[in-house]
Amino acid sequence: MPITATVTSNLTVVETLDGNRPFAADAKARVTHDVLNTSASLTSGSSPPGTKVAAFQKALAAGAGTIDLTALVGTNGLAVDGTGLRVQAVKVRNPATNANPITLSKGAANGYNGFGADFSLALAPGAHALLVPNDAGSDVGGANKNLDLAGTGTQALDVQVVLG
């Protein structure tokens, strides 16, 4: 099933210059910071490619969990196997209703290397992150497939993954 993934990361800040500058009261005395904004469309023909998607909520058991990139949950509960593909984008969100942070990291066993050897990201309740590794890391497979989750109790993490 073909997909088109639009991966957009924006942080635009408009700064109004202070009163110590000539004409600072003028509406034109503003600086817009947007040079780091990015957008890309991933399809089967793009570089990097986007060919599969999985979107799910991963619940922890006793404060721990593992995201296995060879056994993801797709639309309507269908299985998504990332074997032979690379993670092209991941959006994770710790729901604001969770009481504690959740940490996403390279798996202790068969850890996925696409985000680096020492990858670890702590998300406070309500926090979210977009990871775009730009075709880095090896293909997903038996020894390169797991991301670990650490938190509290049965909290859950919202996850969306694009593979290609």
Summarize pLDDT for 31-78 with one digit per residue, the tens: 899 999 999 999 999 999 999 999 999 999 999 999 999 999 999 899
Residue 14 lies in a domain: no
Instruction: Read off the pLDDT of residues 103-113 as tens digits, 9 standing for 90 and up.
Output: 999 999 999 99
CA dist 160 → 31, 33, 55, 80, 94 (Å) = 34, 28, 4, 12, 12
Query: What pTM was computed for the model?
Result: 0.90
Residue 128 lies in a domain: yes
Residue 62 lies in a domain: yes
Grade residue 133 by pLDDT with cuts at 50, 70 and 90.
very high
- The three-state secondary structure class of 49 is coil
- The three-state secondary structure class of 75 is helix
Q: Which pLDDT value is given to residue 27?
A: 55
Q: Which pLDDT value is given to residue 98?
A: 97
Residue 11 lies in a domain: no
Residue 132 lies in a domain: yes
Please count the structural domains in the chain. Answer: 1
Q: Which pLDDT value is given to residue 105?
A: 98
